[in-house]
Amino acid sequence: MLSDLLFVLVQEMSQGRLDLQQLLDTVDDLSDLGLTTQIAHYTVEQMGVFIRACVPKKRMLSVSFYRPVDYFSGTFNRFVTWMTAGEFCHCELIIHSTPDEIMTAVKQVYTAAQQGQYPPEDCNRIIGQIEMYFFDTHFKAAAQSQDNMAISFSLLWGYPMSVRVLQKAGHDSWFKLPSKTDSYASVVDIPEVPSEKMEETLRFCIEELGKDYDSSGALFSWLPISSEHKSSYESYFCSEFVVTALQRINLYKNMDARHTTPNSLYGTISQ
C-alpha cells in the first residue's frame, strides 16, 4: 500500500539514509515516473532496498563551525570567540561520501603505510590511527547501516587530530551532524568539488590523523602576520588544518592557513 511506501521513506530518513530534501525529491521522482503505485505492492523490505537504490549518493565537503556552548562552553573558548571578533571558537572539516569510497581511501593509505611509502615515523602513526578509528566496531556498524556517511576531522586543544562519524539524528551534539535549526553550530557546504578532489582530500585527511595540536600556532593565529604556504604541517590547529586541506585542491588560495581563525574562515567561505 502507499501508506507502507510513506512509512519506508520516513524510516529511511530517521535512520540517516535520507534527509528531508532527499525524501521529498524521491517522492517527486517516483511520482513523475509513475512508480508509486507499482512499488506499493512490494513488501516493506523490498521498498527499502528500492528506495535506497534510487537515492543519489551524497559526496561533498563541508566545514562545521562551533559556538562556545555545550561541549565548547568553557571560559577559554568564550575568550577565543571574543578575541577573534565573531561567534565561533572551533571548526572542523566534514567529508560526505559513501562507506565504499571511504574504505577504499583507508585501504589505499593503510597499504601505502605498510609498504613504507611515507617516512618511518609517519608510517607507524598512520597505521595506528587507521586501526584505532576505522577498524573500530562503531565505525564498521555505521558503514554497514548507511549508504552515505559524514565523517568529521577534528583538532581540539591538547589532543592529536581525530575523526568521528556524524549522524543526522541524535541527542549527543558531538556525534550529530549540525542542522540549520541547531544553535550550537553552523555548517557551510563547499560547492562543486570534483570527485577526484574529494578523493584526494579524503586520503590527505586520513594521512594526517594523529598529528599534534599546534598550541602556539593557535595562540597567535589571530595576528595579521603572513607566512609561507605549505601543503602539510607537522601539527595543526583547527582552522589551519581546514584551510590547508582546502588549499591543496586549489580553494581559498588567498588565505593564510597559519593565521586563520574559525571566525575569519567562516567570513570567507560563507559569502
For the stretch 77-93, pLDDT in tens is: 998 899 888 999 999 99
**Better pLDDT: 106 or 168:** 106
Q: What percent of the chain has pLDDT over 70?
A: 75
User: Of 42-56, 131-145, 229-243, 248-262, which gets the smallest average pLDDT?
Assistant: 42-56
Task: Specify which residues 152 forms β-bridges with.
Answer: 94, 164
| pTM score of the predicted model | 0.78
Inter-residue contact 184 to 69 (CB < 8 Å) = yes
Every domain of the chain and the residues it spans: 2-54, 60-269
Grid cell in block for residue 260:
586563520
Tell me: pLDDT of 96 over 90: yes
pLDDT at 212 over 50: yes
Q: How many CB atoms sit inside 10 A of residue 1's CB?
A: 8
Q: Residue holding cell 540517516?
A: 16
- Per-residue pLDDT reduced to its tens digit, 113-124: 999 999 999 999
Nearest to 96 by CA among 143, 57, 64, 133: 57
Bridge partners of 235, per DSSP, are 212
Residue of higher predicted confidence among 6 and 129: 129
Please tell me the distance from the alpha carbon of residue 83 to that of residue 250, in angstroms, as a whole number. 29
Instruction: Report the pLDDT value the prediction gives residue 260, as an integer from 0 to 100.
Output: 92
Q: Regarding predicted confidence, which is higher, 269 or 37?
A: 269
**DSSP assigned state of 206:** H
* Predicted confidence band of residue 64 (pLDDT cuts 50, 70, 90): very high
Q: Is the pLDDT at 178 greater than 50, yes or no?
A: yes
Question: What pLDDT was estimated at residue 59?
Answer: 80
Looking at residue 43, what is its pLDDT? 54
- Bridging pattern class, strands 185-190 and 60-66: antiparallel
CA distance 22 to 229: 39
Alpha-helical runs (H) found in 95-214: 99-114, 120-133, 137-145, 195-208
Residue 2: per-residue pLDDT: 45
85 or 161, which is more confident? 161
